[in-house]
Amino acid sequence: MEKMFLQYLLYTTFIELRSKAYESGDKRSFWLCDILHNVPLYINSEEEVDETYRRLLEEVENLGINNWLSAKREEFENRYTKT
């Protein structure tokens, strides 16, 4: 139950942030929240994770924000995969 609540919490928070970004005209934040808000709902199994990641990559490509994703990937790897 805790996992589902955390997923719901992330989903609704992204929706709220997306709305605030729209109201303030912050296009970058709006699009980031828009492409990420459904992710928490779709990551219940490895199969779903793979499909969700593929869709995310497509959306990042469509928006032309590959540099953002690359920087986040590098940040993640530096933080969690270095020993």
Sign of the C-alpha dihedral computed for residues 61, 65, 66 and 69 taken in this order? negative
Task: Give the model confidence (pLDDT) of 7-35 as tens digits.
Answer: 999 999 999 999 999 999 999 999 999 99
Whether the predicted pLDDT of 82 surpasses 90:
no
Residue 40: Cβ-neighbour burial (10 angstroms; 0-12, 13-18, 19+): buried
